[in-house]
Amino acid sequence: MAIIKPMIRSNICINAHPMGCAQDTRNQIAYVKAQKAKRGVKTAAEGGYAPKNVLVLGCSTGYGLASRISAAFEFGADTIGVSFEKEASETKGGTPGWYNNLTFDTEAKKAGLKSATFNMDAFSDECRQTVIDEAKKWGVKFDLVVYSLASPVRTDPDTKVLYKSVLKPIGKPFGGPSLDMMSGKITVTEVQPADGDDIPNTVKVMGGEDWERWIKMLSEAGVLAEGVRTVAYSYIGPKYSHPIYRDGTIGEAKKDLEARAHNIDASLKALNGAAYVSVNKGLVTRSSAVIPIIAQYLGVLFKIMKENGTHEGCIEQMERLFSERLYTADKKVPVDSENRIRVDDLELDPAVQAKVDEIMPKVTEENVAELTDLAGIRHDFLMINGFDVPGVDYEKEVTLMNAIE
């Protein structure tokens, strides 16, 4: 038995709170249920335009989890999820995603929704075969495949070579303020540029090759439905982060993802299907928290967007993606000139970015709490690990580390 407190080092939290993760997942479920009622969304069973069977690759946290929750609890879909998480035991904690998945499956069962979650390496053909076998066992075909994988490593299924991704600028070093969300301290961090095979290796891990392989295997196995849609997630962001992100190694991988979306789209035409990349808003995630300049930028951005009433977290973004982009009344998906879905429209609104430009250079350690939403980004950072979640008693002792009740 223990009272669990967050263990944080340099914007990295190394533990999770079981009840907090569970409650956060339930809060997201409650949000989409409320949106269903507010928008008057009808599930396929209710005669609406909605997905019936959804596969979410990278289903355990962030946008992947929010996608699965939106698909299931607002649009009524049965879902299969894949993620690679550290399992909890009675005495040892698991990763936040492990608790989120457990909660999702528990709540789906209560709601009469079918769900299966596989704790496997989604980059492996063995995992692809497991999913195909499960779909055939259920007697279903996927009408939506969400690709939301983010990983530092990937083993090529053909060569068995392990590739590692890196977050580095290209051509020259990148320096910027690193805001410690817990202490409010600001230090200048410099990241050296990519060298050797950093760029191709990062593309191999974070690009679109694996997404393309998933769709190919699912298609050949006959488990994709007529009119199937698939969507993968990307980020463009502000000019501040372009050198380290959009114009860096990860950006090269995202450009590969976007290029391959066109190949996948063409391959799905026989099924009247389509492939999209959705460009989403910047959020505090386990990975974004450690990127120089990002924490400070998000702090400034969140303050402005909250004042405007346009701020969204993961669940609000994905709920809007589903209801206002993927499953619209006219059945058309609004896209930009590159065939990308844009739900980063509120973040990149010129008026919002002009305000960001005005505030960013003024931020110091002395005024950081005043000029940025420091409390908000700190809350988001804690919440993705199950801490600072409304409705949870953090002074209560946790008896079993593998229970969520």
Give exposure, 173-211, as e/b (b: 16+ Cβ within 10 Å): ebebbbbbbbeeebeeeebeebeeebbbbbbbbbbbbbb
Active site residue 297: no
Rounded to whole angstroms, the Cα distance separating 382 from 377 reads 9
Tokens 């533990």 found at: 15
Question: Which of 193, 232, 178, 184 shows the shortest CA–CA distance to 210?
Answer: 232
CA dist list (Å): 375 to 110, 241, 295, 370: 35, 22, 12, 10
Q: Catalytic: which of 245, 276, 297, 327?
A: 245
Which residues share a beta bridge with 8?
Answer: 13
Enter the tokens of residue 350.
């010129």
Indicate the DSSP class of residue 194: P
Burial (0-12, 13-18, 19+ Cβ within 10 Å), 15:
middle
Give one DSSP letter per residue of 129-191, joined into a string.
HHHHHHHHHHT--EEEEEE----SEEE-TTT--EEE-----SSS-EEEEEE-TTT--EEEEEE
Indicate the DSSP class of residue 398: B
Residues with a known catalytic role: 245
